[in-house]
Amino acid sequence: MRKTYKIIIEETISDEFAVTASSEEDAVKTAIERYKSGELVLSPGNLLEKKIAVMNNQNEAADWISF
């Protein structure tokens, strides 16, 4: 008998952005604000990792598998 399974796929991507600021702290704050406003977008970005897992009965991801 076939069943339906909940599957989670997670990707980790990265990209590099230039941010002008007076300090590292200000650069991080500015980058976060620009990211949240949609100005800094990691698309397509550099794919670092991808994983897949099946949700268990407690609605938690079971063992993650890199693929």
8-47 per-position pLDDT tens digit: 999 999 999 999 999 999 999 999 999 999 999 998 889 9
List, in sequence order, every residue forming a beta bridge with 8; answer none if it has no partner.
53
Entry pTM: 0.69
In a 13 Å sphere around the CA of 16, the CA atoms on its Cβ side amount to 0
CA gap 54, 62 in Å, rounded: 6
Domain boundaries, the chain: 7-66
Strand order from edge to edge, sheet including 65-66: 7-14, 46-54, 65-66
Contact 46, 17 (CB under 8 A): no
Q: Which residue has the tokens 């704050």?
A: 29
